[in-house]
Amino acid sequence: MNKRSTLRAFAAAATTLGFGLVGPPTHAADTEPIKIGLILPMTGQQATTGRQVEAAVKLYLAQNGGLIAGRKVEVILKDDATVPDTTRRLAQELVVNDKVVALAGFGITPAAMATAPIATQSKTPMVVMAAATSAITEASPFVVRTSFTLPQASVSIAEWAAKNKIKKVVTLVSDYAPGIDAERFFADRITLNGGSVLEKLRTPLRSPDFAPVLQKVRDASPDALFVFLPSGQGAAFMKQFAERGLDKAGIRLIGTGDITDDDQLNDMGDVALGVVTSHHYSAAHKSPANQKFVEAFKKANNGMRPNFMAVGGYDGMRVIMDALKATKGVGGEALLAAMKGQIFESPRGPVYIDAQTRDIVQDIYIRKVERVGGELQNVEFDKQVAVKDPGKTK
Ligand code: PHB
């Protein structure tokens, strides 16, 4: 930054923060930056999540960056390659060596769980932007979440299914914590509403092969198949679903919105048409705030469409920046306190961070895949308002 732009940034920051210029701007340049550690799977199986979240964090900073209490904000990006032991080691280094005021990112639940003890021991707020197992916020009092929870999404689609003549179902989930959450909350709610679960199928997180489970689905012949798979696996699943003719066999496909991920949806083809899912974000969400977000995101990223991971990253960055403004750059418990209870309009709709659970409370939408203007979109047609995570025990 040259001197003039430093001056401009300083003046802009001073205006946003509501206090006047307090000293010569050269002091600002001398001070240590405020550092945020962003750990994401930039390589490995969940690399699409890393790419989306990183792009969103960058966009938020480009739109809302500037100095906080005269200090620059610096995001240090680390690639955990989708390996939880690496996530934990990187978090440790970021806290000890780089003295970050917050940790952020976390593409999968095991990565978040492995890091939670470090957040607790070092009293560093840890903003989970992607991972979505209910229990993550209970793993450390320093965890704040801006993504969603699988119970939030799964209960809503179970309610919709029960009202839409779906009685007999088979569930298919990825065999790890978020999948177990999805299976349990979907099955419990549909059973409560008079439906029955014929079979509960699971596929491994790493390199899943859908052929054997899809054969079982065909044999069970349910009214609908409910699916949760982590972001990035949806397209491969849809392909095999169609190849095995299940789309023509009268078995409806429903699930959480992870399977009709906006990142991949356009490449899924006709098999995805008509699939009904529930989720907290669709790139097709109709609001001026979302339209602005989608346009800016695409412009900055060669036309890439933001998915639900991107919105978790964008809002997570907002929560961190607003909290830092409130504490004037101070971290620890003060920063955590400033994150709790934040309420704002996200591209996904109105949200707030529950001060008790530190989890996000948001609308959950029921959506159907439709072709709109030549593109496949998750078109929202119903919603449940201000859904708290049903997975919380307290
Ligand atoms: C998770 O590991 O918590 C996770 C990953 C991808 C998703 C949802 C949950 O789409």
CA of 23 to the centre of ligand 1 (A): 46
CA of 14 to the centre of ligand 1 (A): 38
- Ligand 1 pocket residue status of 151, Cβ below 6 Å: no
Q: How many other C-beta atoms are found inside a 10 Å radius of the C-beta of residue 89? A: 17
- Ligand 1 pocket residue status of 41, Cβ below 6 Å: no
- CA-based max dimension of the chain: 75
- Ligand 1 pocket residue status of 127, Cβ below 6 Å: no
- For ligand 1, pick from 87, 129, 258 the residue to mutate: most ligand atoms within 8 Å of CB: 258
- Ligand 1 pocket residue status of 255, Cβ below 6 Å: no
CA distance 245 to 71: 59
pLDDT value, residue 370:
98
DSSP state of 333: H
- Ligand 1 pocket residue status of 109, Cβ below 6 Å: yes
| Atom 3, ligand 1: residue with shortest CA distance | 131
Cα separations in angstroms, 54 against 51, 75, 211, 291: 5, 10, 33, 20
- Could you tell me which residues come within 8 angstroms of residue 5 by beta carbon, excluding any fewer than 6 positions away? none
pLDDT value, residue 67:
94
| Atom 8, ligand 1: residue with shortest CA distance | 230
pLDDT value, residue 240:
95
| Atom 2, ligand 1: residue with shortest CA distance | 108
pLDDT value, residue 349:
98
CA of 26 to the centre of ligand 1 (A): 44
pLDDT value, residue 3:
41
DSSP state of 305: P
- For ligand 1, pick from 109, 128, 129, 261 the residue to mutate: most ligand atoms within 8 Å of CB: 109
CA of 179 to the centre of ligand 1 (A): 8
Pairing of strands 360-372, 349-353: antiparallel
Q: How many other C-beta atoms are found inside a 10 Å radius of the C-beta of residue 272? A: 26
CA distance 16 to 347: 21
CA of 116 to the centre of ligand 1 (A): 16
Residues of the chain with pLDDT under 50: 1-29, 394
Alpha carbon distance, N-terminus to C-terminus of the chain: 48
pLDDT value, residue 8:
41
Asked whether the CA dihedral 47, 51, 54, 56 is positive or negative, the reply is negative
